[in-house]
Structure 1
Amino acid sequence: MRAEGSGALPVVAAPMAGGPSTPELVAAVTEAGAYGYLAAGYITAEKLAAQMAELRERTAGRFGVNLFLPPTRSRTGREQRRRDTAVDAYGRQLAPEAEALGAELGNPRPDVEPDAGDALDAKIAVLAQDPPDAISVTFALPDAARLAALRATGAALVATVTNVDEARAATDAGFDGLCVQGAEAGGHRGTHDEADIPNDTDTLDLLAAIRRATTLPMIAAGGIADTAAARRALEAGAVAVQLGTALLRCPEAGTSATHREALADPSFSGTTVTRAYTGRPARALTTRFAVEHGPAAPAAYPEVHHLTRPMRAAAAAAGDTSRLHLWAGTHFRKAAAIPVADVVRGLV
């Protein structure tokens, strides 16, 4: 697996679902000699096909696509009832937050879940029709049928892992490479069980531990903010380093204006890992909302994501950083409002 893609630089642009990873961003990364991923999470198969077509119009370079996967273990009826009760209680707690923005909370159980069931299979079918160079998965490993479908595309398969056990499982499943996500990474932690409390193992230590457990190529994700960090990751055994937060303020990214401004706002002093926004642990700038509601947020993804999504959209439109999910890695201060090519070249 050539984890670094078509260019000579061992740099990968992370798939950032929800807007930042636009075809323009991925094309700019590719043209800078690195490798980029489109984010298929939260979007329909039709939109994924359109984004892939746009990207191919922008660049002839190779690229990857990332999928969010549902858990493979089904819940018992009792587990589901407890989950529903916890989500509904959390919704009642958040209702005043949405009302303050003139918004309503969303339906936590929409009729169509874009990252599960037939909707997910439709996205896999799009990838089979005109495969990217690589397909990465996050939040889980695929079941046997979906793994076979992904393998049939001919693309290299990469699994996001956050600990040694997940890395071993991906190796046993026949994946071609690993995206090793350390605790410093911004956005969702890629734990395979949403109820897990993520470990605090940094990227370098995690690379070392996983290297002892598997021979698969590793992409280092988390804490890659400058040349020194990239060099350390490569020396620790990674074949490439992955950038996420470092690209959020680039003009080619689809990051909201409110999010961009917050990353440069000196009033934000740090980050925290919270379930407050989506029900899955994710690293974000420390906000009032995360502090007040994080302890009560149930481990229920994607229900909490759907519940809070309209409120978060309203917060972004209103410039309200107190209620917005401001995903950010620990080194967010180094994210600069410069073109992607300058970030990539500056890194190497």
Structure 2
Amino acid sequence: VNERPTALLGQRAEAGPVLGGWRPSTVPPAFASQDITHLLQYARHQVHVVREESTGQLGLAMGGELVGAGESDVSLVGTLPPIYPEWLGDREFCEAHGLRFPYVTGAMANGIATPELVVAVAEAGMLGFFGAGGLSYAGVERGLAEIQTRLAGRTGLAWGANLIHSPNEAALEARVAELFIEKGVRIVEASAFMKLTPAVVHYALSGLTTDPSGAIVRKNKVMAKVSRPEVARLFMQPAPDALVSALVAAGKLTAREAELARHVPVAEDITVEADSGGHTDNRPLPALFSEIVMLRDQLAQQHRHDFRVRVGAAGGLGTPQSIAGAFAMGAAYVLTGSVNQSCVESGLSPQARAMLAKAGVADVMMAPASDMFEMGVNLQVLKRGSMFGPRAKKLYEWYSRYPSVTAVVHEHGAELEKFFGKSVDDVWSETRQYWADRDAGVLELATRDPKYQMGLMFRWYLGKSSRWAIDGDADRVLDYQIWCGPSMGAFNSWVAGSYLQQCENRNVVQVALNLLEGATQISRAQQARKCGIPVPATAFGYIPRPLSL
């Protein structure tokens, strides 16, 4: 019988039946607020929900024994099972990637998610992505080589790298995808995509095969970070036939891989990116996550392939409360970004990390993105202590209004060179040298199109501003571009007064373990509250402390 129980919305909650009497062994039951809070800290142990028959008050207890009804003035109402940080998310996600914890650190571009950070996260049984976006091809090669050297001979440790959508450098995007295939990078975080490109589809489908039972086996896995349902849809379905056929014609995929491609989604893991640092649409996580989960379920009914798409959460996650909330919504995993930039393993300079450690939740703003400047795409950056945001917005305003950099110089030359910190001619000389080494075709277009040349020069400032923050250039502190979301401010408030307040104590694994441990404690408190226990508000707080694996 598939009938569902009728929901009695008007019926008041009442005390349920008891399982019998309960008799304590050594620890008495907890009915006082401070005692309930104390027992809730033992999330890894069974905790009993008990009722004092003389008063009807509900409380918690540990240990003890079940006795017959009437043999004790305390009755057993139920038992709460243990909760572990490892169990907060989807265990299938952890099994698929060989992880202990459903916790991912995002690929902060320009190498800010360093090989050191990725290795530390992998050693802790989590998944970290190397920040390959924004690096040169040689820089990506060096980063991969360092990670693989440090993890050589050690099995069971998962890690990945970032494949960022690069509409202005499609050839580089394709080369990096091919490098990942060649070097055996088994999972990538695909970010900033607005459409599927040959590069990401090539990586996702390369190596598709079947096992002896006929089940499809994926060699490469894609975790797509998205902030729009229409983009999520592209990754949660099989790749378009036309795109796959073009890759076959180019010799990048085999006919067998193309055939199997019809039965797998491009990505098996979708990270819902809410109000994050860097590229973001500033969407609230509850609304966006729900929308994409519903879309996932609709597409699953349409395609019915063997691979279940898992949905994780990112953006705004910087406290145990936010982590617990994401898992409570059904997130298979959580991904953090902004908070990791202030950690000692981050590629940011000590000066930039110190600026992040002072940020509040409102100390962020949107500013033009270097990689998609001409398209008007913005990203979220730190506002406190830096003039980068207002200056970058002014550059885009000039780009939109004027046909060439010469026209800008005519009316705003002094202000422009103040932003640049050097002459316009010097900036063009550096820009020309950069593209001569990277893609000479860009320079050819710039000689024919003055507005395109202007865009390249303005992107010089946007690109350099990130490097100044990474290198710790003391002369350009006011121009530091530091990607940052509101979660950084919330994190700083949470750790205030604790050992994690100081940047030098912010180890990426300690941050992760404390976020997960705090989320576990909060989940336990909520579990008890749903059983009718009068849980004090203080039980939903967690103070960071040194933790060990």
Q: TM-score if structure 1 supplies the norm length?
A: 0.75
Deviations 1:11-69 (CA, angstroms, capped at 9, x unpaired): 10100011311110001111122110112212233332332222123233111111112
- Aligned equivalent of 2:390: 291
Aligned length: 294
The worse-fitting range, judged by mean Cα deviation, of 12-21 and 290-299 is: 290-299
Alignment partners' CA distance in 1, 2:467 and 2:179:
28
Aligned to 1:103: none
1:238-280 CA deviation, whole Å, 9 max, x = no partner?
1111111111121111112231121123699511122176623
Compared with structure 1, are the counterparts of its residues 64 and 201 closer, same or farther at alpha carbon in structure 2 (3 Å cutoff)?
same
One-letter code aligned to 2:125: G
Structure 2 SS opposite 1:214: helix
Match of 2:481 in 1: 325
Amino acid aligned to 1:26: V
Q: Which residue of 2 aligns with 1:28?
A: 120
User: For the aligned residues, what is the CA RMSD?
Assistant: 2.7
Counterparts of 1:145 and 1:206, CA distance in 2 = 27
Residues 161-200 of structure 1: pairs in structure 2 closer than 5 A: 161-172=226-237, 173=239, 174-175=265-266, 176-183=268-275, 185-189=276-280, 198=281, 200=282
In structure 2, the gaps of 5 or more residues are 1-91, 208-218, 240-264, 298-308, 401-451, 493-499, 517-549
Structure 2 counterpart of 1:91: none
115, 122, 134: which one pairs with 1:42? 134
* Alignment check: 8 A CA contact 2:174 2:199 kept: no
Query: Does structure 1 conserve the Cα–Cα contact (< 8 Å) formed by 2:364 and 2:486?
Result: yes
Partner residue of 1:259 out of 352, 372, 376: 352
Question: What is the letter of the counterpart of residue 272 of structure 1?
Answer: M
Structure with higher helix content: 2
In structure 1, the partner of 2:10 is: none
Distance 1:275 1:35 in 2: 30
Structure 1 contact 124–150 (Cα < 8 Å) conserved: no
Query: Which residue matches 1:101?
Result: none
C-alpha contact (below 8 Å) 2:392/2:462 kept by paired residues: no
Equivalent residue for 2:337, pick from 241, 244, 258: 244
CA apart distance, 1:345: 0.9
Q: Deviations over 1:167-219 (max 9, x none)?
A: 11222332222121102x11122xxxxxxxx3x42122211111111142112
- Name the structure 2 match of 1:90: none
Q: 1:344 aligns with which of 512, 524, 537?
A: 512
Structure 1: how far apart are the matches of 2:139 and 2:370? 24
Mapped contact 1:5–1:34 kept (Cα < 8 A): no
Q: What SS does the corresponding residue of 1:65 show, helix, strand or coil?
A: strand
CA change 1:54–1:211 in 2 (3 A) is same
| Distance change (3 Å), C-alpha of 1:16 and 1:133 | same
Cα distance in 2 between the residues matched to 1:342 and 1:126: 32
CA 1:311–1:171 in 2, change beyond 3 Å: closer, same or farther? Answer: closer
* Cα distance between partner residues in 1 of 2:199 and 2:354: 43
The CA distance in 1 between the partners of 2:345 and 2:336, in whole Å, is: 14
Q: Which amino acid aligns with 2:480?
A: L
RCO comparison, higher one (Cα < 8 Å, 6+)? 1
Q: Which position in structure 2 is the counterpart of 1:139? A: 192
Give the 5 Å matches for 1:209-288.
209-215=291-297, 216-265=309-358, 270-275=363-368, 279=373, 280-286=377-383, 287-288=386-387
Structure 1 residue runs of 4 or more that deviate by more than 6 Å after TM superposition:
none
Identity %: 22
Displacement after TM superposition at 1:295 (Å): 5.5
Matched-pair contact (CA < 8 Å) for 1:13–1:242: yes
- Residue of structure 1 aligned with 2:182, choices 108, 129, 134: 129
Local SS of the residue matching 1:329: coil
Structure with the greater alpha carbon radius of gyration:
2
Which of 29, 52, 66 is the aligned partner of 2:162?
66
Higher mean C-alpha deviation, range 119-128 or range 311-320? 311-320
The AA in structure 2 aligned to 1:285 is L
Question: Secondary structure of the residue that 2:222 maps to in structure 1?
Answer: strand
Mark the CA change 1:267 to 1:212 in structure 2 (over 3 Å): closer, same or farther: closer
User: 1: distance between equivalents of 2:391 and 2:141?
Assistant: 39
Q: Compute the TM-score of the two structures, normalised by the length of structure 2.
A: 0.49
The whole-number CA distance in structure 2 between the counterparts of 1:290 and 1:2 is 37
Hey, what's the Cα distance between the residues in 2 that align with 1:310 and 1:45?
A: 18
Give 3-state SS (helix, strand or coil) of 1:322's partner: helix
Q: CA deviation at 1:290?
A: 1.5
1:204 and 2:286 correspond: yes
Contact 2:177-2:199 at 8 Å conserved across structures: no
Paired residues of 2:361 and 2:488 also in contact (CA < 8 A): no
Please state whether the residue corresponding to 2:130 is helix, strand or coil: strand
Q: Matched residues in 2 for 1:145 and 1:245: separation?
A: 27
Q: Is the 8 A contact 2:343 2:508 kept in 1?
A: yes
Moved more, 12-21 or 45-54: 45-54
Q: 2-side partners of 1:66 and 1:277: how far apart?
A: 17
1:330 offset after TM fit, Å?
0.2
State the Cα distance separating 1:222 from its structure 2 match: 0.5
Q: Is the 8 A contact 2:360 2:486 kept in 1?
A: no
SS at match of 1:213: helix
Contact 1:262 1:321 in 2 (8 A): no
Answer whether contact 1:285 1:327 (CA < 8 A) is retained: yes
1:149: Cα distance to partner? 4.1
Please tell me the residue identity of whatever aligns with 1:288: M
Cα 1:269–1:162 shift into 2, 3 Å = closer
For residues 322 and 277 of structure 1, the distance between their equivalents in structure 2, rounded to whole angstroms, comes to 18
Contact 1:15 1:65 in 2 (8 A): yes
Contact 1:32–1:344 at 8 Å: present in 2 too? no
